[in-house]
Amino acid sequence: MKPALSIIIPAYNAEETISECLHSIFSASCDGVEVIVVDDGSSDGTFEVCRSFGSAVRVVQQENAGVSSARNHGIRLAKGDYIMFVDADDALLPEWFDSVSRYFGSNEDMVVFSEGTGRKRYQVDELVASVVGVSPRADLKPARTPVKWASSPVSRIYSRRFLKTSSLKFDSQIINGEDALFNLEAFLSSERIRFVGKSIYRYRLHGNSATHTFDRRFFASNERYLVRLERILTDSGLYSRQEVSSMVDFSFCRSVEIAALRAAWIAQRPERTLAIRDIASNDLFIDRFRSNVDASRNPLHERVVCKLVEMNATGAAVSILRVALAIKGHRSPQERWVNI
């Protein structure tokens, strides 16, 4: 019998967490549900743990290519009418199936489950603002995010037909923001998106989160993100060239602060100094600054950091961020669970 739902779990060295993840899924009845784990070249016992669940879990292996490649692999294998993504270190809440199954057979392209969501439908500009972080209309001030977790691919179901007809897939060459672009394209392509103010998903916050890790691949990945962001917004036909440029500039300025903030998190001074040099000398950042970036719609702290980096004062920007982190008492966060 054709499944109603395919759950896709990308997994890399998830031996310690994936059993809990799978048990959370099977805590419900799971009638009409197929579970696909894509083992992304793990070197631990991830594959064996998944195999221990027998025929309930379809586990496939691929050479290590990243989470986006693993999700795309899962989409190609899926047979369900709807697709749901779950990360191998997260879990579903016990009542997840009752909440999701009521939308089987519906005509929704997407159904998004998020605690505190106040409405069933949102305007496309609101969804774009939720992903990009700023209103697409240039004459409006930066918008508060009306939809929480809008950029995430979890805690929602996608119509497989919709993903296929829209040719949606994750960009495997982007290591930060690939989820955001996937959902941005989905929001812009969809005709029907339903929002449900109920949590079905438990997200595990890690102390070693990638948001606190400086990775030199960030620069090339971020440039590809900005180029794709510009193309997606332009191809939508909804926004003028000025509005698209404003959103791209906003995103670039934010990415500069992200890079500086990651450098600020580095505890050892020699490594932090190397990161500062990488930021200051990066040709992709330098080329963007030469195009007269408009940061006027970014928050003040982002504008300050962006301007300092542009003025070749990256060290000062990182120092300011370290002082700010110290004043706020920020430390690398402890692992904890959050219901989305």
Rounded Cα distance between 337 and 216, Å, is: 29
Supply 7's token pair.
Answer: 């759950």
Supply 161's token pair.
Answer: 């037909």
Tell me the longest C-alpha to C-alpha distance in the chain: 63
Predicted pLDDT at 213: 80
Cβ proximity of 244 and 188 under 8 Å: no
Cβ proximity of 110 and 156 under 8 Å: yes
Rounded Cα distance between 58 and 290, Å, is: 50
The sign of the dihedral angle between the CA atoms of 14, 333, 67, 259 is negative
Terminal Cα-to-Cα distance of the chain (whole angstroms):
31
Global pTM? 0.93
Distance set, CA 149 to CA 34, 178, 203, 241 (Å): 25, 14, 11, 27
* Of the candidates 53, 45, 82, 87, the residue with the CA atom closest to the CA atom of residue 70: 87
pLDDT means per 10 residues, the chain with 340 residues, are 94 97 94 96 98 97 97 98 98 96 96 89 93 81 68 97 97 95 97 95 76 86 98 97 96 97 94 96 96 94 97 96 84 76
Cβ proximity of 51 and 129 under 8 Å: no
Rounded Cα distance between 275 and 253, Å, is: 18
Rounded Cα distance between 74 and 37, Å, is: 8
Q: Using DSSP, state whether 103 is helix, strand or coil.
A: coil
Supply 254's token pair.
Answer: 């934010």
Predicted pLDDT at 138: 61
